[in-house]
Amino acid sequence: MRYFIIMLVLSFIVIGCSKKNADDYLKSAEDNLKNNKVQEAVSELEGFMSEYAEHEKAPEVLAKLASVYQNRMIKNIPEQESLLKAVEFYKKVFMEYPKSTLAPTSLFMSGFILANELKKFDAAKTQYELFLEKFPKHELAESAREELKNLGLSPEEILKNKTSPSI
């Protein structure tokens, strides 16, 4: 009986100590990124999100995940899939943490990737219009207006429109 109680207490100690805290996840992810172990970093960031979605740094973690995918840092997934994941994570920042200081930039970036990388102009338009509705005075609002005005145009067409005299 004594052996059973000792083993029970030890198992509670081991189980109680085995859960990583938020800072452990973040430190490990940062170290992995520094050492170019991107997949391991993503696993740590996703682990953080699964256990600490209510943590104050959760929007930051989602934005970091979005950045990893936007910059195509994971080599074994196709470019389009990586960019779609970036959009997904940026949207998640805005949708799940609308009061975060990262929400406006994340919403803008989702539109930017959709327009300029994926050429999904209708989806980009929706994101930019939502951005302007929610954040009309944000420092990126003028950029969103310009993006909407130039949606689907080639760089040459944009330049031509800027240099042509207005009638």
For residue range 41-60, list pLDDT tens digits in order: 999 999 999 999 999 999 99
Q: Which residues of the chain have pLDDT under 50?
A: 4, 8, 14-16
Q: pTM for this structure?
A: 0.84
* Cα dihedral 58, 81, 111, 126 sign: negative
Break the chain into its structural domains and give their ranges: 20-152
The predicted structure's pLDDT at residue 166: 59
CA-CA distance, 164 to 151, in Å (whole number)? 18
CA-CA distance, 87 to 67, in Å (whole number)? 10
Please check whether residue 109 is in contact with residue 94, taking contact to mean a CB–CB distance below 8 angstroms: no
CATH number of 20-152: 1.25.40.10
Mean pLDDT score of the chain, rounded to an integer? 89
The predicted structure's pLDDT at residue 15: 47
Distances (CA, A) of 92 to 48, 49, 87, 143, 156: 15, 12, 8, 21, 34
The predicted structure's pLDDT at residue 7: 53
The predicted structure's pLDDT at residue 14: 47
